[in-house]
């Protein structure tokens, strides 16, 4: 293994794999990609849970994280991928774009929708709309939608019920201006999940200037004064090594990237002091401003247990819309989940998930140890802001409407949670309090190293030189979409900048 690389990328997830693949397209740059989890070459060595995009992988390649949804709720699991490809290798394979207002709202010309639509076109190979001007047909990430004959009975009924309720039909949920109910764009072909490990790293592995190292944890970033000069790593065998770098790119995701900075002496003063860490730079935004999508499930017991097929796809369809009375366009989703189980004693159920996509509430990460294996305390504070709580209540009402609309209503024996009669008798204030107690994560954390506070618009740390962050942690706000595609786009943007403009990052190549 080389002792020095031009670029060391820490974390081979949705964004980090893309950064490494794009940057290594420049043959003058040597790139090392480090992943704490295992690295699998394509082929028979890839485990089934990573290939099967019908299900989330929440055990074999997971970080084992818990989060606190609010001040009174019980801790719940927060799946995050611990493997090459990161969460793109274990998630539901939803390939949904943000709305243009998300990128324009970030406030930086290089992240505006006019700039980013080109990035989304470059990353995708859209099998359905690749010939349309706002889509791409030759990118690394394959995207398709389930055609009507491939929909399960419940998903077909969901779309028919949406039409009955008056929602417009939306064949392409990734069209920048369209909205309504239709098939969900997904980065999978049949059952096969197309992760960034498959789409980006597989074709890049033969490059002599790219090294991929799995089962290796980064203990800290090393500094000369206020310039990053490399990383200290811990191998699976317990060996500690130092690797020098011209630039260190941290891409461990919104939950784990702040910990890498903190262990390296960059963080909130109180946390650095409490953990006994010498400060390289005090930055109060490290681990702050945690954003996510609060969700609430309406659980339905089917008339026929055969309607719940655990071997089938969990997601096929979506309703994207604007909450009634909201000034934030497309701030809501309703999705049908093909199966849902809370405990082994529950009957077979499917669910209607109500999800608030644009949020004001913020949480934070608290670190109680500087050990490389320690996990942060994740406090989400869902719906703490009244505007979030009231809109999520309205989206739950939209989800409830599906349970009474034909033909979906004919597939429902009973709505088991929440009790429809009790819900209908609640006042708005009581419903608001209910969602504050019960809202859960949509599994889209972001914003914990946000742009403008911790990094600049190129991902460069504002407090030190030679350190870049490229993942969902730098989002200024949570996008109105599942964060998978937006994270890949961040990797594309910063990876391309490193490839084409290395001098902006202090590299001479």
What is the rounded average pLDDT for all residues in the chain? 96
Q: Give the pLDDT confidence score for residue 508 in this predicted structure.
A: 82
Token pair belonging to 394: 């309205």
Q: What confidence tens digit (pLDDT) does each residue in 421-477 have? A: 999 999 999 999 999 999 999 999 999 999 999 999 999 999 999 999 999 999 999
Enumerate domains of the chain plus CATH numbers: 4-48+194-289+446-505 (3.50.50.60)
Looking at the predicted structure, is the pLDDT value of residue 354 above 50?
yes
Token pair belonging to 3: 């002792």
| DSSP annotation of 200 | I
Q: Give the pLDDT confidence score for residue 73 in this predicted structure.
A: 75
Radius of gyration of the chain (CA): 22
Q: Give the pLDDT confidence score for residue 72 in this predicted structure.
A: 75
Gap between the Cα atoms of 363 and 381, Å rounded:
5
Q: What confidence tens digit (pLDDT) does each residue in 307-346 have? A: 999 999 999 999 999 999 999 999 999 999 999 976 676 8
68 contact partners, CB below 8 Å, separation of at least 6: 75, 377, 378, 379, 380
| DSSP annotation of 185 | P
Confidence of residue 126 (pLDDT cuts 50, 70, 90): very high
| DSSP annotation of 136 | -
Confidence of residue 509 (pLDDT cuts 50, 70, 90): low
Q: What confidence tens digit (pLDDT) does each residue in 464-501 have? A: 999 999 999 999 999 999 999 999 999 999 999 999 99
Confidence of residue 1 (pLDDT cuts 50, 70, 90): very low
Answer whether the bond into residue 494 is a cis peptide, omega within 30°.
no
Residue of 338, 356, 345, 350 lying closest to 415 (CA atoms): 350
Q: What confidence tens digit (pLDDT) does each residue in 204-216 have? A: 999 999 999 999 9
Confidence of residue 110 (pLDDT cuts 50, 70, 90): very high
Confidence of residue 236 (pLDDT cuts 50, 70, 90): confident
Answer whether the bond into residue 169 is a cis peptide, omega within 30°.
no
Gap between the Cα atoms of 60 and 443, Å rounded:
18
- The predicted model gives 147-172 an average pLDDT of 98
234 contact partners, CB below 8 Å, separation of at least 6: 216, 217, 218, 219, 240, 372
Q: What confidence tens digit (pLDDT) does each residue in 7-55 have? A: 999 999 999 999 999 999 999 999 999 999 999 987 668 899 999 999 8
């Amino acid at each position: 293994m080389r002792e020095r690389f031009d670029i060391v990328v820490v974390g081979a997830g949705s964004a980090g794999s893309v950064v490494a693949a794009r940057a290594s397209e420049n043959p003058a740059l040597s790139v090392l990609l480090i992943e704490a989890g295992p690295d699998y070459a394509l082929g028979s060595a890839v485990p089934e849970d990573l290939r099967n995009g019908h299900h989330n992988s929440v055990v074999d390649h997971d970080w084992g994280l818990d989060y606190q949804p609010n001040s009174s709720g019980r801790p719940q699991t927060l799946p995050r991928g611990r493997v090459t490809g990161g969460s793109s290798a274990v998630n539901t394979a939803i390939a949904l774009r943000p709305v243009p207002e998300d990128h324009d709202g970030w406030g930086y010309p290089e992240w505006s929708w006019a700039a980013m639509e080109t990035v989304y076109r470059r990353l995708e190979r859209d099998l359905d709309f690749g010939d349309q001007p706002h889509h791409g047909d030759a990118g690394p990430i394959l995207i398709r939608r389930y055609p009507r004959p491939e929909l399960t009975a419940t998903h077909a009924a969901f779309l028919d019920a949406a039409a009955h309720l008056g929602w417009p039909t939306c064949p392409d949920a990734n069209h920048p201006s369209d909205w309504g109910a239709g098939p969900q764009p997904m980065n999978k072909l049949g059952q096969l999940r197309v992760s960034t490990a498959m789409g980006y790293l597989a074709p890049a592995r033969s490059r002599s200037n790219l090294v991929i190292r799995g089962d290796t944890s980064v203990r800290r970033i090393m500094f000369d004064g206020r310039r990053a000069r490399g990383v200290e790593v811990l191998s699976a065998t317990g060996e500690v090594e130092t690797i020098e770098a011209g630039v260190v790119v941290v891409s461990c995701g919104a939950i784990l990237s702040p910990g890498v900075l903190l262990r390296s002496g960059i963080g909130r003063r109180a946390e650095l002091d409490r953990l006994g860490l010498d400060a390289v730079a005090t930055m109060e935004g490290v681990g702050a401003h945690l954003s996510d999508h609060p969700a609430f499930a309406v659980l339905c017991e089917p008339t026929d247990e055969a309607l719940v097929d655990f071997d089938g796809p969990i997601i096929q369809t979506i309703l994207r819309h604007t909450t009634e009375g909201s000034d934030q366009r497309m701030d809501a989703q309703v999705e049908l989940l093909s199966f849902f189980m809370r405990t082994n004693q529950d009957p077979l159920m499917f669910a209607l998930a109500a999800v608030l996509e644009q949020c004001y509430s913020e949480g934070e990460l608290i670190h109680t140890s500087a050990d490389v294996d320690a996990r942060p305390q994740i406090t989400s504070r869902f719906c703490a802001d009244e505007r979030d709580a009231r809109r999520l209540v309205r989206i739950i009402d939209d989800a409830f409407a599906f349970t009474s609309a034909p033909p979906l209503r004919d597939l429902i024996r009973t709505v088991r949670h929440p009790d429809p009669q009790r819900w209908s008798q609640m006042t708005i204030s009581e419903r608001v309090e209910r969602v504050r107690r019960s809202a859960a994560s949509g599994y889209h954390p972001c914003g914990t190293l946000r742009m403008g506070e911790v990094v600049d618009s190129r991902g460069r740390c504002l407090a030190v030189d030679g350190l870049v962050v490229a993942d969902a942690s730098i989002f200024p706000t949570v996008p109105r979409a599942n964060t998978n595609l937006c994270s890949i786009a961040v990797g594309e943007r910063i990876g391309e900048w490193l490839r084409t403009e290395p001098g902006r990052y202090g590299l001479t190549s």
